[in-house]
A and B are shown apart, each in its own frame.
Chain A
Amino acid sequence: MSANHDFKVVKHSNEKVDLKSLVLGKPVFTDDMAPANALVVKLLRSPHAHARIRSIDCSLAREMDDVECVLTHEDLPRIPFTRAGQGAPEPSPYDAFLLDKKVRFVGDVVAVVAARDEKAANRALKKIQVDYEVLEPLLDFRKAMEGNVVLHDEKEAENVFDPTKNIAAHYTMEIGETDRLIEESEVKVDVTYYYPKSQQVPLEPHAAFAYLDEKSRLVVVSSTQVPFHARRILSRILQLPPGKIRVIKPRIGGGFGAKQGVIIEGYVAAVTWKTGKPARLVLSREESLIGTYTRHDTDVRVRLGADKTGKLNALDMYVLSNTGAYGDHALTVAMVCGSKTLPLYNKVQAVRFSTDVVYTNLPNAGAYRGYGAPQGLLALDGALDELAQKLDMDPLYIKERNSIREKESSPIFQIMGEGREGVEQIVQSCKLDDCIAQGKELFGWQVKREQFGLAHPKDGKVRGVGCALAMQGSGIPKVDMASATIKMNDDGSFNLLVGATDLGTGSDTVLSQIAAEMLQVPLEMVHIYSSDTDTTPFDVGAYASSTTYVSGNAVWKTAKKVKEHILQAAAELFDCDVAQLHIQDQGVHNSSTGESISYAQLCTQLFYTFNQRQIAATESFVGDESPMPFMASFMEIEVDLRTGEVHPVETVSVVDCGTPINPKLALGQVEGATLQGLGTAFFEELTFDSRGKPTNASLFRYKIFDRASYGKITARLVESYEPTGPFGAKSVSEIGIDTPTVALLNALFHATGIRFRSLPVRPETILKALKGENV
């Protein structure tokens, strides 16, 4: 196969296979399918950021006619676990219990109520009396390591780096003599950037329901990104064998990492297991904002040394990450801050990365699109921009000349993986230079850099431009495993069964396209069914930008195997050598004899009359490496010098994601991620009062961009061919969120001459800075 392969299905913007059901409003989401008689589950949440539960009196609630069940920590086995939906053994500490006798943030779950209707459940919540011993909360993550307040003093917790200092995870690595090289450099930069606690805000709040099937097995239907991990984790906390549990993921209304954890499934499962009755739980928006996952807010300090021409000598990154009350994804997100950013600037002679991830009495941080890369890049790209500022050079030139290219490598690939060692990699596909060249041209970088800035105000407003480069990965190498099953039908169509989890991204479509391409059938001849632990083969789930590459490769291998079976069967039928045969247009053809048979005829014969058998195959894939997509982003903003208001004018991102299996869906990923990144850049941040109580936990106060106000987003793809990817593909889902935050700060510097290093940048901060006040 080559880059010039003439694709029939791949590289076509086919209609999303699930789209028709979505535009018809069919009941395809989790809570649309909950049984009408399901008990309504509600959670009693802590009003305190840090407290010990002395006692809970549920007797009044339990006496209510309409209440079926009330659970507290006294009713469940005390089993430490992590909610993080990761492969086993998870790199996240086991520091959580389904219900605990201590609460660690405002909103931590104290008790579970299941009632016959919502009103009764709400009434029951009010009747539960909890006696709290209120403890001093730890709210400032910069003071967490002082250890004055300790969050995790429970003896059962496992794998917490240093509970006495509230350190959930710690990591450090160094290649070369970083300090000496920076010290000896002609130009030095030493800066710290802050990335805020933003939230994923999938439009569908977390939802799950459970019931016992006719064989009394526990079925959990959930809007999860990780059905197989959910089954394993439920098996641990409910002490049931995995085979007794079936997890089904229907359509999901967005996840972005917020659903890469087993956050609510345990509660419905426990209620059903205790009562034998179906139970459903849908979080409110407030619960979804504070009671699931958030971004790890992070201080990232970058020190660098360079020569006067702008050539980097050494890089040093230190990450202080706030994991909130529990250590979900703590180590891995922090490591990605470095591992998915530092290799981008691989021409250094020395590099150091270290991190401390600390607990605070704030909502649980977890996976969020980008998974650390946005935080790391904010400081790394910002520092390079500041280097350009010191040298009075074009920041794009500085970034471009130091960045990685095809056939190059970085020692970081091998040293840093996710929560463990990485793998050695040579970059086999990289069109970053083309991304830069195209983006620069499309955006008009040169002209805008000269014409904008503080020296050119117009009607009290100035414009500014910023740029940023980014890389991501495609799955976690040597860890993430995906598999697929394909079986042939007697109309020549195929059932494709995958454990992969389409969370709205379109992966069901992309995987179907890969199978259709390999089997040379139109897309509608592939019937995909995904994410059901009973009927689809294992897949780690949707995270780490893995589905197109890892699950896609599994589908590619499986389809190839099925193709071989088809050719073999046809060779038996024609009594000829397999080498004489080829597949084309839903049939097998013998080029020397001119004989041919359609898939439908062949399969029908195999079912009923000739060498009878089912053609089917299952194959698995684990990546030996994690090929990187690359991106160059450019942003133009307008700042009102009188009010400090800043508006995005245009964001241009050019991405190399290898072969785009479905170009339109790939562009949609870039556009959506860009807008999500813009949100954090401009206003998204969860805020709390002095006792740790959330102050903006609704979509009325926590704003996300609507369609009227983000200016213009332009996304383009530059094609490369990744030899290890399915039909040359790499990932595309996360990378778009990495750049908008730092691009805004860089553009703000260009517009105002002021360097902001903390997000989100609010108009009042800008105005104060413009007036010369210290911010």
Chain B
Amino acid sequence: MDTYPPSPWLSGEPGGERAFPHPCTLSPRCLCDIIKHTSKQEGMGVKIRLTINGTPGEFDVEPGMILLDLLRASGFKSVKKGCDGASCGSCTVLMDGRAVLSCGILAAHANGCAIQTLEGLGSDLQLDPVQKAFLDGNAFQCGFCAPGLIMSTRELLDRYDSLSREQIRKHLSGNLCRCTGYEAQISAVEKLFEQRKGGVQDVREP
């Protein structure tokens, strides 16, 4: 039944456990060695380079700092901390185009990567189709999970041409929502894939 290529994030089967690769496999430029040397010494920072939402920058990070905290401290408040334990998906961002949990990645490991947060997806003037779909579907209540779910959905659309409702449910199961009962959100994503089938262009902001 599955014709789409397996994602590196999934064990082949849709809905399979998310295999979480060592961050070094994500970023060949990661600063593991430096971290090993500095992690015992307090106050020893590392300088890393990140391109966040298209803007390159240099950041001082402490060895234990997670990407989530760096992003929030740098003003990207859409990235939400919901669980402290890589369980809720609220902190999902795109790292070199792939959806990752920013709470599960050390900031230093992301050195050299391009990070996209919800702030970089759309604007008041032009919404991303994913944002539009959730807006049209009135698909959030409190909206605390919105940034993570929108970024995960964005990746899903970039990765797959078409997915069934069941496949969508399994793929997005890492993004928890406590308010909605999910139905409206799943329908919104389903509609996005349907629109694509119908030839409506999924225009993405550059």
Whether the Cβ atoms of B178 and A251 lie closer than 8 Å is no
Q: Are A700 and B85 in contact (CB under 8 A)?
A: yes
Q: B11 → chain A, closest Cβ, in Å?
A: 15
Point out the residues of chain A lying under 8 angstroms from B87, CB to CB.
698-700
Q: Tell me, yes or no, whether A15 is within 8 Å of chain B by CB.
A: yes
Q: Name the distance in Å between A625's Cβ and chain B's nearest Cβ.
A: 28
In the complex, how many residues of chain B place their beta carbon closer than 8 angstroms to a beta carbon of chain A? 53
Assess the B78–A668 pair: CB atoms within 8 A: no
Closest B residue to A702 by beta carbon equals B87
With an 8 A cutoff between CB atoms, is B80 at the interface? yes
Of residues 269 through 307 on chain A, the ones whose CB sits less than 8 Å from some CB of chain B are: 282, 284-286
Residue of B83, B124, B140, B177 with most chain A CB atoms under a 10 A cut-off: B83
Pairwise interchain contact A707-B124, C-beta atoms closer than 8 A: no
Residues of chain B within 8 A (CB-CB) of A609 are none
Q: Known: A675-B181, A707-B185. Contact between A253 and B131, CB under 8 A? A: no
**In the bound complex, how far is the Cα of B77 from the Cα of A504, in angstroms?**
18
Chain B residue with the shortest CB-CB distance to A712: B183
Judge whether A708 and B183 touch: CB under 8 Å. Answer: no
Do B180 and A19 touch (CB < 8 A)?
no
With most chain A CB atoms within 10 A of its CB, the pick from B121, B175, B177, B178 is: B178
Cα separation A454 to B84 with both chains bound (whole Å) = 43
- A665 interface residue (CB < 8 Å to B): yes
- The reply to whether B117 and A25 contact each other, CB–CB distance below 8 Å, is yes
B150 at the interface (CB under 8 A from A): yes
CA distance A13 to B138 in the complex (A): 8
Question: How many whole Å from A138's CB to the nearest CB in chain B?
Answer: 30
Q: Give the CA-CA distance A713 to B91 in the complex, in Å.
A: 27
Say if the beta carbon of A155 comes within 8 Å of chain B: no
B142/A15 in contact, CB under 8 A: no
Instruction: List which B79-121 residues lie within 8 A (CB) of chain A.
Output: 80-88, 90, 117-119, 121
Q: Count residues of A near B (Cβ-Cβ below 8 Å).
A: 54
- Within 8 Å of chain A (Cβ to Cβ): is B23? no
Query: Knowing A203-B142, A506-B141 touch, does A25 contact B78 (C-beta < 8 A)?
Result: yes
- On chain B, the residues within 8 Å of A254 by CB distance are 141-142, 144, 178-179
Q: In the complex, what residues of B have CB within 8 A of residue A22's CB?
A: 140, 143, 146
Contact partners of B44 in chain A: CB under 8 A: none
Q: Which residues of A contact B176 (CB under 8 A)?
A: 203, 699, 704, 706
Instruction: Name the CB-closest residue of A to B134.
Output: A23
Query: B33-41, B155-163, B166-174, B198-206: which one contacts chain A?
Result: B166-174
Distance of B127 from chain A, by nearest CB (Å): 7
The yes or no answer to B195 lying at the interface (CB within 8 A) is: no
In Å, the complex CA distance between A203 and B180 comes to: 12
Known: A504-B179, A668-B180. A23 touches B82 (CB 8 A): no
Interface presence of B10 (CB below 8 A): no
**Secondary structure dominating the interface of A:** loop
A252 vs B131: C-alpha distance when bound (angstroms): 20
Residues of A within 8 A of B134 (CB): 19, 23
Given contacts A285-B82, A285-B83, contact A713 B118 (CB under 8 A): no
- Asked if A23 meets B182 with Cβ closer than 8 Å, knowing A706-B174, A708-B15, the reply is no
Q: Is B186 an interface residue (CB 8 A)?
A: yes
What residues of chain A lie closer than 8 Å to B123, measured between beta carbons? 24
Tell whether B122 is near chain A: CB-to-CB under 8 Å.
Answer: yes
Partner of B135, one of A20, A671, A672: A20
User: What is the chain B residue whose CB lies nearest that of A703?
Assistant: B87
- Give every chain A residue within 8 A of B140 (Cβ-Cβ): 16, 19, 22-23
- Find chain B residues with CB under 8 A from A461 CB: none
Closest to A28 in B: B143
The 8 Å CB contact of B183, one of A20, A284, A713, is: A713
A23 contacts B127, CB within 8 Å? yes
B184 at the interface (CB under 8 A from A): yes
In angstroms, how far is the closest chain A Cβ from the Cβ of B204?
15
Q: Is A256 in contact with chain B by the CB < 8 A criterion?
A: yes
A699 to B141, CA, bound (A): 20
In whole Å, how far is A524's beta carbon from the nearest beta carbon of chain B? 14
Indicate whether A29 reaches chain B with its CB closer than 8 angstroms. yes
- A505 pairs with B141, CB closer than 8 A: yes
Tell me whether A241 is interfacial, beta carbon within 8 Å. Answer: no
Say yes or no: B169 contacts A15, CB within 8 Å. Answer: no
Q: Which residue on chain B has the smallest CB distance to residue A252?
A: B142
Chain B contact residues, CB within 8 Å of chain A? 15, 62, 77-78, 80-88, 90, 117-119, 121-124, 127, 131, 134-136, 138, 140-147, 150, 169-170, 172-186
CB-CB nearest 10 A-B residue pairs: A504-B142, A25-B78, A671-B181, A22-B143, A253-B144, A25-B118, A699-B87, A27-B77, A32-B77, A708-B173
11 more CB-based (< 8 A) A-B contacts, given A22-B146, A202-B178, A505-B141 = A15-B135, A23-B150, A253-B143, A664-B138, A665-B138, A671-B180, A671-B181, A698-B87, A699-B82, A700-B86, A706-B176
B-contacting residues of A (Cβ < 8 Å)?
13, 15-16, 18-20, 22-27, 29, 32, 119, 201-205, 251-254, 256, 282, 284-286, 503-506, 664-665, 668, 670-676, 698-700, 704, 706-710, 713, 715
Q: 23 A-B Cβ contacts within 8 A?
A: A16-B140, A23-B131, A23-B134, A23-B150, A202-B178, A203-B88, A204-B142, A205-B81, A253-B80, A253-B144, A254-B178, A285-B82, A665-B138, A670-B181, A672-B181, A675-B181, A699-B85, A699-B176, A706-B176, A707-B173, A708-B169, A708-B173, A715-B181
